[in-house]
Amino acid sequence: MNDQPELRRDPVTGSWVAVAPERAKRPIALSGHQPRQRANGERHPCPFCPGQEHATPHEVFAFRDPSSPTDGPGWQLRVVPNMYPAVRPESLTTIAIRDSELLESVPAYGTAEVLIECPEHIHDPKELTDSQFTNVFVAYRERLRMFAGDTRLAHVAVFKNVGAEAGASLGHTHSQIIALPVVPDLLRAELDGAKEHFSRTGRCIYCDLVSEELKDGSRVIATSANFVVIAAFAPRFAYEVWILPRQHQPRYEALSDANANELARLMKRLLFTLDAVLGEPAYNWHLHTTPLHAGEPEHYHWHLELLPRTARPAGIEWGFGCHITTAMPEVAARELRAALPM
Amino acid sequence: MNDQPELRRDPVTGSWVAVAPERAKRPIALSGHQPRQRANGERHPCPFCPGQEHATPHEVFAFRDPSSPTDGPGWQLRVVPNMYPAVRPESLTTIAIRDSELLESVPAYGTAEVLIECPEHIHDPKELTDSQFTNVFVAYRERLRMFAGDTRLAHVAVFKNVGAEAGASLGHTHSQIIALPVVPDLLRAELDGAKEHFSRTGRCIYCDLVSEELKDGSRVIATSANFVVIAAFAPRFAYEVWILPRQHQPRYEALSDANANELARLMKRLLFTLDAVLGEPAYNWHLHTTPLHAGEPEHYHWHLELLPRTARPAGIEWGFGCHITTAMPEVAARELRAALPM
């Protein structure tokens, strides 16, 4: 059946996608696979390099030598406000700008931050040391905990863009943290799907998914003591990968340092195999966790999703939300497993 | 207020987007605007050119001289099955391939067609004559009418990709028609929003939107006797444009030949102003109309949406569905109005 196109339903959101291996054969004169572009003519040192701290807004968080001055060198990881924010902390009210029956808008209250992952001017997160990579996952947690007290905020979007095709505008490896006064769409869709599953079964849908995927095995790429890496059953991009905690954990804020280290080492192995199999694609990863003031739900479970830019979305994706991919997730998982470093 | 970032809610689907004009100033070393790419080294004649009919599957529809043979030259417009289909008519059943409680998939029953818009090897739809452009909109209608009888199908996605960055794989101007056994996500989201509005107000949300936009005027780009062109209030891409019938019309199938001609002339003017203002961007347009077997709903109203590829979506878009754009729709509308040909 593996050469027949299939329509698959995302187990959580219910979105339909088409998996059509035959389309991989179509002419690629104008379309196709997007390799990770290197920065051309990028200045070095860049604004994210040590010694250039004056080129960014004042830092709001850092791992740095105790003796080093704020906004000076001597840091291992640094979080600064985005120079070009989509949302702004000085928008102190959320009083509607427009509020007709149909058209509603509010000032973009929130915070947009850049998390500079290491002092070295490297583009590729798989070149981070294990300790640096662990710092990234610990810093995600610390920023989430910091925002937990702001009742004007609803959700914190943590994500990373690697390569120009994935939306990165600077090469020096960094993540982004955007705190918003609303719960964004895709998270809301997951929460709705998870709630529906819980009301039907009394169980967390992600716990059920982990259990079913481990039993089936065909989409499992890697495992560690506390995490599972699977090829998404209904991917939006070929080779889409999900990383989930094995145990129920609604909030990323609860991640222990030891588990951050385990997650970092697993993620690095995943990046090595993705780059080997796909030839260094551009990609995004993003963290989905329970919204800030939503307690500790029994039905929702944090996870990371990694989307390699393996195709250029077209009218069917943008116009209808129906993604068409060319690699069966079971085939993708087999290839990634085979190339996985020890 | 026009330099302050704003969070806007799509009036129909309820999706939140951020409009942040300041982000237009960020460095574009790695990111930014995607001009329309020309085919490099594309063969001419291409498989869509007259005389090359043997290079495509057998035609299923055409406007051609009565004396000309099927699958020979002499046509003005030609619809052929996609060589690399995402869905296939020979998948005759919709019996589940997988049907666990969580993971569901069905054979991709359906039809994927390519609508070759003219015999001339041109890339740019604004070079179509008025009569050729009218043929395109009439042919959309004819294909929709043809699929209306197939109860295994739920919806027909009609769309067009212009430029490699918008997912086009061949340059010769063409549209795509994909008939699916499910109602795709974004259409379902619109239908849900429209139904909710109707149950609250007793009116079609698109009729209300047309009326409110015409009264407000700030997002109106162009009008004709029967259609309105507006800048989307909560765009996913800067300069996103919607084209709506002024009067309630649930199904595109009801479009008259005269209105197809009026729509074609309006659309050409829109393409001229978009290309002038944005420097020939890649773009998609897609047709949203009532699903095949859903009658003539009072709450839903067909329309076209045009999405120029004015940015590279990143982690916030792919991971959270929260689009960030840099041009206020009211500013975009003013620029497009100013550059609109007579």
Q: What does the pLDDT read at residue B101?
A: 80
CB of B162 closer than 8 Å to CB of B292: no
Question: CA angle, B239 as apex, B236 and B243 as ends, to 5°?
Answer: 90
Q: What does the pLDDT read at residue B29?
A: 42
**What are B129's two structure tokens?**
């004559």
Sign, CA dihedral A113-A119-A120-A125, equals negative
When CB atoms are compared, the residue of A42, A101, A105 closest to B6 is: A105
**What are A59's two structure tokens?**
């830092």
CB of B80 closer than 8 Å to CB of B113: yes
Q: What does the pLDDT read at residue B183?
A: 95
Mean pLDDT of B54-62: 97
Enclosing H/E stretch for A262: helix A257-278
* The residue to which tokens 């199938």 are assigned: B253
Residue A174 annotated in active site: yes
When CB atoms are compared, the residue of A6, A102, A316 closest to B212 is: A102
Q: Is the pLDDT of residue A96 over 90?
A: no
Q: What distance in Å separates the CA atoms of residue B68 and residue B59, rounded to the nearest whole number?
A: 13
| Mean pLDDT score across all residues of chain B | 91
pLDDT, one tens digit per residue, over A318-338 is 999 999 998 999 999 999 999
Q: What distance in Å separates the CA atoms of residue B12 and residue A325, rounded to the nearest whole number?
A: 28
| Closest chain A CA to residue B38 | A30
Q: Is the pLDDT of residue A32 over 50?
A: no
CA distance A102 to chain B (A): 5
CA distance B135 to chain A (A): 20
Q: Omega of the bond prior to A81 within 30 degrees of 0, cis?
A: no
Q: What distance in Å separates the CA atoms of residue A151 and residue A153, rounded to the nearest whole number?
A: 5
Indicate which residues of B carry an active-site annotation. 174
When CB atoms are compared, the residue of B103, B160, B164 closest to A30 is: B164
Sign, CA dihedral B58-B62-B66-B68, equals negative
CA distance A71 to chain B (A): 21
Question: Are the Cβ atoms of A159 and B319 closer than 8 angstroms?
Answer: yes
**Amino acid code (one letter) for A39:** A
Q: What does the pLDDT read at residue A31?
A: 40
Mean pLDDT of A116-126: 96
Question: Are the Cβ atoms of B6 and A97 closer than 8 angstroms?
Answer: yes
Helical axes A257-278 vs A329-338, angle rounded to 10°:
100
**What are B195's two structure tokens?**
């139904």
Mean pLDDT of B135-152: 96
Using the Cβ of B170 and the Cβ atoms of chain A, whether some distance falls under 8 Å is answered with: yes
**Window A:209-268, CB contacts with B under 8 Å:** 209, 212, 233-234, 236
CA distance A67 to chain B (A): 33
| Strand-pair partners of A272 | none
Question: Are the Cβ atoms of B187 and A320 closer than 8 angstroms?
Answer: yes
Question: CA angle, B300 as apex, B294 and B306 as ends, to 5°?
Answer: 110
Q: What distance in Å separates the CA atoms of residue B236 and residue A184, rounded to the nearest whole number?
A: 13
Q: Which residue, among B165, B314, B153, B307, has the nearest Cα to B238 in the 3D structure?
A: B307
Q: What distance in Å separates the CA atoms of residue A117 and residue A77, rounded to the nearest whole number?
A: 5
Q: What distance in Å separates the CA atoms of residue A137 and residue A146, rounded to the nearest whole number?
A: 15
Using the Cβ of B15 and the Cβ atoms of chain A, whether some distance falls under 8 Å is answered with: yes
Which residues in chain A are contacts of B6 at CB distance < 8 A?
Answer: 97, 105-108
CB of B273 closer than 8 Å to CB of B227: no
Q: What does the pLDDT read at residue B168?
A: 87
List Cα–Cα distances, B34 to A165, B278, B281, in angstroms.
Answer: 10, 10, 6
* Backbone angles phi and psi of A259, in degrees to 5: -75, -30
Cα distance from N-terminal residue to C-terminal residue, chain A: 32
Strands (E) across A198-317 are located at 220-223, 227-231, 241-245, 283-288, 303-308
Q: Which residue, among A168, A274, A327, has the nearest Cα to B31 in the 3D structure?
A: A168
When CB atoms are compared, the residue of B11, B166, B168 closest to A102 is: B11
Tell me how far the alpha carbon of residue A108 is from its chain's centroid: 22
Range from A25-39, A47-61, A133-147, B145-159 carrying the lowest mean pLDDT: A25-39
pLDDT, one tens digit per residue, over A79-93 is 999 988 888 877 555
CB of B144 closer than 8 Å to CB of A42: no
Strands A324-325 and A16-19: parallel
Edge to edge, the sheet with strand A16-19 lists A324-325, A16-19, A6-9, B104-107, B98-99
DSSP string of A137-169? Answer: HHHHHHHHHHHTT-TT--EEEEEEEESGGGT-S
Q: What does the pLDDT read at residue A55?
A: 95
Q: Would you report the helix, strand and coil content of chain A in percent, each value rounded to 5?
A: 30, 25, 45
Q: What distance in Å separates the CA atoms of residue B177 and residue A88, rounded to the nearest whole number?
A: 42
Question: Are the Cβ atoms of B318 and A284 closer than 8 angstroms?
Answer: yes
pLDDT, one tens digit per residue, over B160-199 is 999 988 888 888 999 999 999 999 999 999 999 999 999 9
Q: What does the pLDDT read at residue B84?
A: 84
Q: Is the pLDDT of residue B216 over 90?
A: yes
Q: Is the pLDDT of residue A181 over 50?
A: yes
Question: CA angle, B75 as apex, B72 and B79 as ends, to 5°?
Answer: 90
Using the Cβ of A66 and the Cβ atoms of chain B, whether some distance falls under 8 Å is answered with: no
Q: What distance in Å separates the CA atoms of residue A4 and residue B107, rounded to the nearest whole number?
A: 7
Q: What distance in Å separates the CA atoms of residue B207 and residue B215, rounded to the nearest whole number?
A: 12
Pick the catalytic residue: A33, A155, A172, A174? A174
Enclosing H/E stretch for B105: strand B104-107
CB of B156 closer than 8 Å to CB of B143: yes
Range from A8-22, B15-29, B261-275 carrying the lowest mean pLDDT: B15-29
Q: What distance in Å separates the CA atoms of residue A87 and residue A108, rounded to the nearest whole number?
A: 5
Dihedral of the CA atoms A120, A126, A130, A133 (nearest 10)? 70
| Mean pLDDT score across all residues of chain A | 92
pLDDT, one tens digit per residue, over A208-247 is 999 999 999 999 999 999 999 999 999 999 999 999 999 9
Which residues in chain B are contacts of A167 at CB distance < 8 A?
Answer: 31, 311-315, 317
pLDDT, one tens digit per residue, over B27-45 is 544 444 556 765 555 778 8
pLDDT, one tens digit per residue, over B63-120 is 999 999 999 999 999 999 998 888 887 755 556 677 688 999 988 889 999 999 999 9
Which residues in chain B are contacts of A317 at CB distance < 8 A?
Answer: 167
CB of A105 closer than 8 Å to CB of A129: no
SS3 for A108-144 is: CECEEEEEECCCCCCCCHHHCCHHHHHHHHHHHHHHH
Which residues in chain B are contacts of A215 at CB distance < 8 A?
Answer: none
pLDDT, one tens digit per residue, over B227-276 is 999 999 999 999 999 999 999 999 999 999 999 999 999 999 999 999 99
Q: What distance in Å separates the CA atoms of residue B319 and residue B287, rounded to the nearest whole number?
A: 25
Q: What distance in Å separates the CA atoms of residue A20 and residue A23, rounded to the nearest whole number?
A: 6
Q: What does the pLDDT read at residue A38?
A: 58
DSSP string of B119-165? Answer: SS--S-GGGS-HHHHHHHHHHHHHHHHHHTT-TT--EEEEEEEESGG
**What are A177's two structure tokens?**
């943290």
Dihedral of the CA atoms B297, B300, B304, B307 (nearest 10)? -140
CA distance A66 to chain B (A): 33
